[in-house]
Structure 1
Amino acid sequence: VSDRFRRRKPLVITGYGISTVVKPFLALATSWVHALTVRVFDRLGKAVRTAPRDALIADSVDRSISGKAFGIHRSLDQLGAIVGPVIAFSLLAIIGYRGVFLVSAIPGAVALLILAMVVKEVRPKSTRRSMNSSTGLKTPLTRDLTRYLIVTFIFSLGLYNYAFILAYAMNVCELRPEFTPLIYTLMNILHVMSGLPFGILGDAMGVLMALSIAYLLLCLSSLMALLVPSLVVLVAVTIVYGVFQGAFETLSRASIATIAREARGTAYGFFYVALGLGGLLGNFTIGALWDLAGYRIAFAYSAIMSLIAFFMIHAFFKPLIGKGS
């Protein structure tokens, strides 16, 4: 839709607006059905805004600094995800959980105001070559983008959620439950800190080359989890995984800005489908392997999929690997 009408900002505002409006209704929820309904609409808002938002970022900067742009965005996004719950927890004793849900509309409203009044939209260029004659929609599925989506899907089949790190900490390394939040905090801090540096690195050496390094970071994290469990190993796994998260979230999005020069809204939509579907299957597979064959088999599977994706991206994009954006 954002490609067809060459407008990103209205969809981004709509998506953030839906989430901002529905979240305070959690204060009125009296059953799980109410909470689920709010959650569904919140996720709907995210679905509406995410692809146009990333396309808006990509359109607003030169491709040579797309890594830096997405590094800033992902770091600030994750920082908000850390600071927000801390503020909410601080307010909990004062205004209660219903009050917390009500005041959650304030930062959302401020963000919407800034988005509407401050953010300037750079309208994407429209070309006849990119239009489908039967539907009028842009078709960005070039050979390079198709290959990138395949690599993304393969990699995400071995991509696991941070919850597996916490499960590894408690069930394998036998970390006491009260210390588990420290692991989660360390992971998130590194997530925030690594996004921008890896984005800058991607601009310097090529985002695809830097992305392949991120693939190796997940592989390394998984391989270290195969070592004899200890506190040192747990901390090392957490550090590498946290850095990986920041690097991957930044570079995977910046790569779309480099590969797809037209119809980026649709391109990001395809990217999130590949990432989401692969991630869903990957987490299910890793969880099943963990339960049926043990955590070592699960992490070994993830390492293998990461290596496959690493070699695939080098094989598919050999002319581009090592070149700056």
Structure 2
Amino acid sequence: MKILNYITKTVWVLSLVSLFTDTASEMLYPIMPIYLKTIGFSIVLIGVLEGFAEALAGLSKGYFGKLSDNSGKRVPFVQLGYSLSAISKPMMAVFIFPLWIFFARAIDRFGKGIRTGARDAILSDEATAESKGKIFGFHRSMDTFGAVLGPIIALIYLYFYPQQYQTLFYIAFIPGVLAVLASFLLKDKIKPHPIEKKPTSFFSFLNYWKTSPQQYRKVVIGLLAFTLFNSSDIFLLLKAKQAGLNDTYVIGVYIFYNLVYALSAFPIGILADKIGLKKMFIFGLSLFAIVYFGMAFSKSLFSISIFFFIYGVYAAATEGISKAWISNISDKKDTATAIGTYSGFQSICTLIASSLAGLIWYQFGPNVTFITTAAVTLLVIIYFSFFIKDKIIKNGTPI
């Protein structure tokens, strides 16, 4: 019970908002490529659509994080961001023209870009340096439960109404609306001193890289080096499919992975506060390397299930932990900018990573893809272990 005292009303509300939103998004994730193909999208066009959407989200995260810090406001960015994502769901089903689909998908990703930095800054403000792991871990747990509920709802619906994809987009609007309504329970904290508002250009967040603490730059370089070789989860699912699992088992292991992730993120966050965020992150990277080495040679449902279990623990030990770590090594007044800038670069690197993985897969096969990724991860582990020290930034000074 003492641990739950750290979870304030604001953290609960933000976590519920994320749960509802992820339920809506993950409800559509398994069927999105199938739906797009049924309305005439080619594989190439689907790739262009997703690349465009992720690039937009990536660039906007840094800008809106900077804008949130400069304005001193958090909640309006959260509310607008989640509202745009909710609206985008039924828009995908109203019309099927390619330009309209691009527009709807762009609105969804733009909403993510608007809210990410401000939301994570609120979470950081609700924690102390010693409880960041708990707060971010709890939020990740709730968020990822949505990734469990969403696909389950989609599977049940499609069992009774096969191939009726458009209706699912309207159903996904319901948890999206619940997320928006919950976001109106949030309130910005009154600042003790008025914030001097500054003009913010779209790429002004890039200036933060020059002025940020050295520790921030060193940590983010390591995180981005890992991201450059950490391709989409789709490649793991493709490997599972190639190993002989049918579609039901493939979706099943994806739900299993998210369930493990959701159940372990909070306890791992608690443990991270005790042993240190850096140590926990390195532990997560070690699990990732094990999974990728192992998946290169996995051919049975049992071994694939084991590696997806480990993969869920890896995600819990890195996703929220990395943001908690960044919030501890950046000045409080720049939290949204620091996380937004990292998240923006991360989105771009993820795009490159998936393209690179696809190229290696095509040229040399899946085994080389997974072994290459695991080998690079070992180099990143060495970098974090020997070149990065645990520090906390307070009032612009490392302590």
The TM-score with structure 1 as length reference comes to 0.87
How far has the Cα of 1:224 moved from its partner? 1.4
Match of 1:212 among 260, 278, 282: 282
What displacement does 1:177 show? 3.6
2:34 match: none
User: Which one of 126, 137, 140 corresponds to residue 74 of structure 1?
Assistant: 140
Flag structure 2 segments of 5+ consecutive residues without an equivalent.
1-66, 393-398
2:318 is equivalent to residue 252 of structure 1: no
Any conservation in 2 of the 1:221–1:237 contact (CA below 8 Å)? yes
Matched, 1:157 2:225: no
**5+ residue gaps in structure 1?**
none
Aligned partner of 1:112 among 180, 202, 205: 180
More displaced, 28-37 or 56-65?
Answer: 28-37
Q: 1:205 to 1:104 in 2, by over 3 A?
A: same
Aligned ranges 1:11-90 → 2 under 5 Å: 11-88=77-154, 90=156
Q: How does 1:133-282 map to 2 (within 5 A)?
A: 139=208, 141-171=212-242, 173-227=243-297, 229-262=299-332, 263-282=334-353
Q: Using the alignment, how far apart are the partners of 1:36 and 1:300 within structure 2?
A: 35
C-alpha distance in structure 1 between counterparts of 2:223 and 2:191, whole Å: 25
Fraction of identical pairs, as percent: 27
User: Which amino acid is 1:153 matched to?
Assistant: L
Q: How many residues align structurally?
A: 318
Alpha-carbon deviations, 1:228-277, whole Å to 9, x = none?
63333322222211221222212111111211132011101111123222
Alignment partner, residue 380 of structure 2: 309
The one-character-per-residue Cα deviations of 1:99-144 (angstroms, maximum 9, x if unpaired) are 4433433333332222222x2434678899xx99999989461101
CA contact (8 A) 1:286 1:298 kept: yes
Kept in 2: contact 1:157–1:305 (CA 8 A)? no
Tell me which amino acid in the other structure corresponds to 1:200. Answer: I
What is the rounded CA distance, in whole Å, between the counterparts of 2:380 and 2:194 in structure 1?
32
SS in 2 for 1:246: helix
> 1:206 Cα deviation (Å)?
0.9
1:46-71 deviations in whole A, cap 9, x for unaligned? 11111111111111221211111111
How far apart, CA to CA, are the structure 2 residues paired with 1:146 and 1:127?
Answer: 29
For residue 270 of structure 2, give the secondary structure of its aligned residue in structure 1. helix
Secondary structure at the residue paired with 2:86?
helix
Give the stretch that moved more between structures: 158-167 or 80-89: 80-89
Check whether the contact 1:161–1:283 (CA below 8 A) recurs between aligned residues.
Answer: yes
Structure 2 equivalent of residue 10 of structure 1:
76
* Alpha-carbon spacing, 1:73–1:184, altered in 2? closer, same or farther (3 Å): same
**Which residue of structure 2 aligns with residue 101 of structure 1?**
169
Q: Distance in 1 between matches of 2:192 and 2:368?
A: 48
Q: Distance in 1 between matches of 2:77 and 2:328?
A: 23
99-108 or 160-169: bigger deviation: 99-108
Q: Counterparts of 1:51 and 1:302 in 2: how far apart (Å)?
A: 28
Moved more, 36-45 or 307-316: 307-316
Whole-Å separation in 2 of the counterparts to 1:221 and 1:254 = 24
Residue type at the aligned position of 1:301: T
1:104 partner SS = helix
TM-superposed deviation, 1:188: 1.6
Q: 2 CA distance for matches of 1:185 and 1:165?
A: 13
Q: 1:123–1:26: structure 2 CA closer, same or farther, 3 Å change rule?
A: same
Q: CA deviation at 1:16?
A: 0.8
Cα contact 1:169–1:180 (8 A) shared by 2:
yes
Q: TM-score, normalised by structure 2?
A: 0.72
Q: Output the CA distance in 2 between the equivalents of 1:28 and 1:83.
A: 24
**Displacement after TM superposition at 1:43 (Å):** 0.8
Counterpart for residue 32 of structure 2:
none
The 1-side partners of 2:107 and 2:279 are apart by 37
Assess if the C-alpha contact under 8 Å between 1:157 and 1:279 holds in 2.
Answer: yes
**Alignment CA distance shift 1:13-1:67 (3 Å):** same
